[in-house]
């Protein structure tokens, strides 16, 4: 009988650790709904003890799954009773609940971070897993040995055995810094299974620092692991996590070799990837496996000739198998109504309120008056911009630019300012710059008092093709006080307007974080 592989998606928790990525509660809910629709077995919704906002988000996801006996909601906790209590409270509304506790086990972490002995770590594992078990709230307790692949193998087996004896039913072996190789990982998992008896599920969580996350995850499955932890589009800190879409398609396409099955509806992969890219503000690389724009493109004449005769010559996957069907792309225009727009937004996976639909539809109409055709990518950009604007204090009212090759660029920018408990008001500032966009950014900086930030990245791309294409600007600001990074996005058929809105979006996030 074939083994069944479970997918534990950690996009809402580990994916949010991507620099500059922040998911608001409604955005986490939208992603969670899409993950459920895809058939994800476990959704790790967050780290409740890390902040009140994350506690609220995990609770909201758990409440949304109060009647779902198919998908498990998981929450992360350090090995402390306070973290465990917070996580258990957050997931309690869910039908199926999992507590995920972790502690580092490598000597590198014990000496330099935890300042604990191995004996103290073992005692903490037993104490905290026993404590969590005694609460009788979580259906499952998962134990992770952080930096497992750089841990002394004998001590790693001791830590796993301690967790199993205390009541953990899922054992996760993370390659926390993407250090291991497939052969090494296989040896580690075999050693654990040999040394630690008992009934427990073996899970892995791989990072991509050496580009081996997918390979290591698949090797783990072949070595007996029955759960894979991963993120949509490979989101995550540093080089990211094992990409959900790559692993599920590898198991699907190479079923003949790997010989396991899963419950993922692969036809939902493309829309899920696009939703996460839109909400996170992290675009998918064109040459990204499975979901990249070029994944099914052929430029070589030899390849084109082969594909014209039979797609199987150069394609190992059917694009329709991942939900990629360009014939289904909805084309909207200025005559399209609110109902058609709202329905398309819903099928894309966004859960906007009636007010949100009205705001996004108004923006859609503004752009539709300037563009002959509005594509799905345009709609994603419009909705993404609206969702980002919900965090705003400053809104663009108007701008004027003076620029030329023989004069200094000047920008006159007027922002509407909204502060809780006060009537909105407007502030206008003028500023010079090396060009029109630099001048506009300087004017916004003056209004918002953002002198303590540094622009570290700016770019603008056409969402679609043509001279009337919608331009999507993206910026990254770094706080000079603590090094935190804030991303911003803006869309418009006017690239200067798109750039100002992107910069404002990042400034608003910085302002909220610093309560200015």
H/E/C letters for each residue in 176-226?
CCCCCCHHHHHHHHHHHHHHCCCCCEEEEEEECCCCCHHHHHHHHHHCCCC
Identify whether the C-beta of residue 207 lies closer than 8 Å to the C-beta of residue 241.
yes
Based on the fold, state whether residues 374 and 268 are members of the same structural domain. Answer: no
Of 337, 357, 388, the residue that ends a domain is 388
Among 88-92, 302-306, 472-476, 484-488, top mean pLDDT goes to 88-92
296 pLDDT tier (thresholds 50, 70, 90): confident
Is the Cβ–Cβ distance between 342 and 357 less than 8 Å?
A: yes
Same domain, yes or no: 376 and 417 = no
Instruction: Provide mean pLDDT across the span 173-196.
Output: 98
Q: Same domain for 317 and 462?
A: no
Q: At what angle do helices 153-166 and 118-134 cross, to 10 degrees?
A: 20
pLDDT at residue number 512: 83
Residues 155 and 227 reside in one and the same domain: yes
Q: Among 372, 388, 404, which residue terminates a domain?
A: 388
Q: How far is CA 485 from CA 74, 151, 510, 513, in A?
A: 27, 31, 8, 11
Asked if 92 and 227 sit in the same domain, the reply is yes
Look at 329 and 219; give whichever has higher pLDDT. 219
Last residue of a domain, one of 388, 417, 433: 388
The per-residue pLDDT for 338 is 87
pLDDT at 443: 96
Nearby residues of 411 by Cβ (< 8 Å), 6 or more positions away:
399, 400, 401, 402, 430, 431, 432, 433, 436, 439, 440, 442, 443
Q: pLDDT-derived band of residue 264, with 50, 70 and 90 as boundaries? A: very high
For residue 113, is it within any domain? Answer: yes
β-strand partners of 487: 476
Tell whether 201 and 301 lie within a shared domain: no
Q: Residue 118 sits in a domain of what CATH number?
A: 3.20.20.70
Specify the pLDDT at position 472.
87
∠ Cα 319 325 327 (to 5°): 145
Q: Is residue 420 a part of any domain in this protein? A: yes
Quickly state the pLDDT bin for 46 (edges 50, 70, 90): very high
**12 vs 327 pLDDT, higher one:** 12
Asked whether residue 78 is domain-assigned, the answer is: yes
Based on the domain organization, do 369 and 446 belong to the same domain? no
Q: Which domain holds residue 460?
A: 391-514
Closest CA to 128 of 96, 161, 83, 89: 83
- Whether the per-residue pLDDT at 446 is higher than 90: the answer is yes
- DSSP strand pairing (453-462 vs 42-46): unpaired
| CB atoms near residue 71 (< 10 Å) | 19
What lies within 8 Å, CB to CB, of 126 at 6+ separation is 162, 163, 165, 166
From residue 249, give the alpha-carbon distance in Å to each of 269, 353, 402.
10, 34, 52
What gap in Å lies between CA 510 and CA 516, rounded to an integer?
9
Strands 407-417 vs 394-404: parallel, antiparallel or unpaired? antiparallel
Q: What would you measure as the largest C-alpha separation in the chain, in angstroms?
A: 78
One domain for residues 370 and 418: no
**Selected residue with higher pLDDT from 196 and 319:** 196
Name the band, by pLDDT with cuts 50, 70 and 90, for residue 281. confident
Tell me how far apart the alpha carbons of residues 464 and 504 are, in angstroms, rounded to a whole number.
Answer: 23
In a domain? residue 287: no
% of the chain exceeding 70 in pLDDT = 94
Number of helices (H), then strands (E), in the chain: 17, 16
In a domain, 409, yes or no: yes
What pLDDT is recorded for position 327?
41
pLDDT in the model for residue 329 = 43
pLDDT at position 398 over 50: yes
Tell me the pLDDT band of 305, cut-offs 50, 70 and 90.
low
**Number of domains making up the chain:** 4
Same-domain check for residues 320 and 335:
no
Assess if residue 446 is contained within a domain.
Answer: yes
Measuring CA to CA, how many Å separate 479 from each of 20, 146, 282, 443? Answer: 11, 29, 19, 18
| pLDDT: which is higher, 120 or 379 | 120
One domain, residues 58 and 195: yes
Picking from 184-188, 315-319, 329-333, which range would have the lowest pLDDT averaged per residue? 329-333
Considering the chain, what percentage of its residues have pLDDT values greater than 90? 70
Q: What is the pLDDT of residue 103?
A: 98
* Residue 212 Cα distances to 104, 222, 269, 285, 422, angstroms: 21, 15, 21, 17, 53
Mean pLDDT of 369-373: 77
| Class of residue 211 by CB neighbours under 10 A (exposed 0-12, middle 13-18, buried 19+) | exposed
Q: What is the mean pLDDT of residues 324-337?
A: 65
Mean pLDDT estimate for the chain: 91
Chain center to CA of 408 = 41
Residues 69 and 186 both lie in one domain: yes
Higher pLDDT, 325 or 137: 137
> Quick one: pLDDT at residue 308?
63
- Within a 13 Å sphere around the CA of 50, how many CA atoms are in the beta-carbon half? 15
Identify whether 497 is part of a domain. Answer: yes
DSSP structure class, residue 330: P
**Residue, of 349 and 309, whose pLDDT is higher:** 349
Rounded to whole angstroms, the Cα distance separating 31 from 60 reads: 12
515 band by pLDDT with thresholds 50, 70 and 90: low
Structure confidence at residue 78 (pLDDT): 98
Say which CATH number the domain at 506 has: 3.30.160.270
- Provide the β-strand partners of residue 453: 479
Query: What pLDDT is attached to residue 310?
Result: 72
Q: Are residues 185 and 227 in the same domain?
A: yes
How does 133-164 read in b/e, with b if 16+ C-beta sit within 10 Å?
beeebbebbbbbbbbbbbbeeebbbbbbbbbb
Q: Is there a domain that residue 9 lies in?
A: yes
For residue 328, pLDDT beyond 70: no
Would you say residue 233 has pLDDT above 60?
Answer: yes
**404, burial (CB in 10 Å: exposed 0-12, middle 13-18, buried 19+):** exposed
Lowest mean pLDDT among 86-100, 241-255, 389-403: 389-403
């Amino acid at each position: 009988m074939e083994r069944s592989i479970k997918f534990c998606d950690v996009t809402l928790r580990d994916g949010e650790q991507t620099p500059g990525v922040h998911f608001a509660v409604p955005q986490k809910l939208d992603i969670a709904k899409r993950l459920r629709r895809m058939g994800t077995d476990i959704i790790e919704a967050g780290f409740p003890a890390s902040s009140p906002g994350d506690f609220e988000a995990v609770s909201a996801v758990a409440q949304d799954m109060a009647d779902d006996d198919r998908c498990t909601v998981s929450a992360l906790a350090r090995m402390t009773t306070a973290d465990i209590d917070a996580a258990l409270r957050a997931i309690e509304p869910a039908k199926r609940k999992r507590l995920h506790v972790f502690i580092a086990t490598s000597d590198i972490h014990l000496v330099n971070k935890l300042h604990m002995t191995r004996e103290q770590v073992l005692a903490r594992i037993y104490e905290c897993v026993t404590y969590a078990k005694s609460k009788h709230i979580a259906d499952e307790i998962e134990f992770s040995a952080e930096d497992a692949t750089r841990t002394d193998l004998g001590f790693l087996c001791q830590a796993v055995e301690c967790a199993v004896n205390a009541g953990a039913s899922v054992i996760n072996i993370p390659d926390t810094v993407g250090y291991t190789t497939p052969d090494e990982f296989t040896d580690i998992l075999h050693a654990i299974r040999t040394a630690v008896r008992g009934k427990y599920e073996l899970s892995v969580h791989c990072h991509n620092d050496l580009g081996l996350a997918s390979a290591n995850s698949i090797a783990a499955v072949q070595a007996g692991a029955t759960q894979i932890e991963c993120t949509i589009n490979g989101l995550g800190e540093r080089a990211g996590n094992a990409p959900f879409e790559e692993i599920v398609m590898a198991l699907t396409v190479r079923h003949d070799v790997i010989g396991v099955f899963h419950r993922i509806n692969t036809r939902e992969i493309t829309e899920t990837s696009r939703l996460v890219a839109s909400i996170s503000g992290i675009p998918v690389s064109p040459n990204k496996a499975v979901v990249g724009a070029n994944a099914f493109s052929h430029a070589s004449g030899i390849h084109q000739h082969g594909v014209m005769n039979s797609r199987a010559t150069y394609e190992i996957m059917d694009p329709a198998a991942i939900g990629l069907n360009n014939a289904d792309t909805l084309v909207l225009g200025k005559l399209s109504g609110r109902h058609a727009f709202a329905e398309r937004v819903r099928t894309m996976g966004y859960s906007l309120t009636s007010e949100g639909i009205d705001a996004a539809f108004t923006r859609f109409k503004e752009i539709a008056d300037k563009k002959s055709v509005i594509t799905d990518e345009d709609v994603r950009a419009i909705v993404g911009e609206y969702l980002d604007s919900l965090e705003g204090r400053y809104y663009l009212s108007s701008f004027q630019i003076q620029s030329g090759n023989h004069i200094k660029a000047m920008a006159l920018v007027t922002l509407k300012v909204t502060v809780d408990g006060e009537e909105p008001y407007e502030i206008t500032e003028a500023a010079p710059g090396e060009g029109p966009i630099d001048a506009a950014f300087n004017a916004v900086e003056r209004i918002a008092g953002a002198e303590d930030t540094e622009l570290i990245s700016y770019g603008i791309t056409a969402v679609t093709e043509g001279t009337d294409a919608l331009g999507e600007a993206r910026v990254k600001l770094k706080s000079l006080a603590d090094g935190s990074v804030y991303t911003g996005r803006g869309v418009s058929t006017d690239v200067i307007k798109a750039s100002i809105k992107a910069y404002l979006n990042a400034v608003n996030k910085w302002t909220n974080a610093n309560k200015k």
